[in-house]
């Protein structure tokens, strides 16, 4: 277990990077510390327009996580814990397909994990795009697995199954 908050965040970033490497070469980076919340930082995989996933591109991915570092119960080491996220998959034309959100603090009245299902065929996208379908917490590895297994994107690593199961 990492002995410092910085080491815990670095280890978390390393694990997220390995998971991302199953579908892209984008890099997870520390973003902006959350004002008034020591040890809480947004991490970002991509910029605001997302990165193309697949060859040829099948989807665009935008991903960010809210990560808190704090001492564990022994006070001798630090843990990094995801306490919010935005994982968004768009079509290559920029249209939202599906979004996995958990933003416990912010302007929205919905603070629990939820999904936006714009990609449902034949549905009124105005309804589903604004709707908040309840979900459990979604791990980034689950989103990467979804991209490969359900959207048919060719993985960039042969060992992707092993990586996403750890």
| Residues 8/79, Cβ–Cβ less than 8 Å | yes
What pLDDT does 109 receive? 81
Rounded CA gap, 117 and 100, in Å?
9
- pLDDT single digits (tens) 133-166: 889 999 999 999 999 999 999 999 999 999 999 7
What pLDDT does 132 receive? 82
What pLDDT does 83 receive? 94
- pLDDT single digits (tens) 47-72: 667 899 988 888 999 999 999 999 98
Q: What percentage of the chain exceeds 90 in pLDDT?
A: 58
């Amino acid at each position: 277990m990492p002995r410092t908050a910085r080491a815990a965040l670095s280890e978390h970033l390393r694990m997220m990077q390995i998971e991302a490497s199953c579908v892209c070469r984008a890099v997870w980076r520390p973003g902006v510390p959350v004002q008034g919340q020591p040890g809480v930082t947004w991490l970002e995989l991509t910029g605001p327009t997302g990165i193309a996933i697949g060859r040829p591109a099948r989807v665009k991915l935008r991903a960010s996580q809210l990560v808190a570092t704090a001492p564990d119960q022994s006070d001798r080491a630090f843990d990094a814990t995801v306490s919010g996220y935005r994982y968004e998959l768009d079509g290559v034309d920029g249209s939202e397909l599906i979004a996995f959100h958990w933003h416990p603090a912010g302007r929205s009245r919905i603070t629990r994990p939820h999904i936006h299902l714009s990609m449902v065929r034949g549905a009124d996208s105005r309804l589903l795009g604004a709707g908040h379908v309840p979900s459990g917490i979604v791990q980034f590895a689950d989103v990467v697995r979804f991209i490969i297994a359900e959207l048919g994107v060719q993985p960039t690593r042969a060992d992707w199954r092993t990586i996403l199961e750890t």
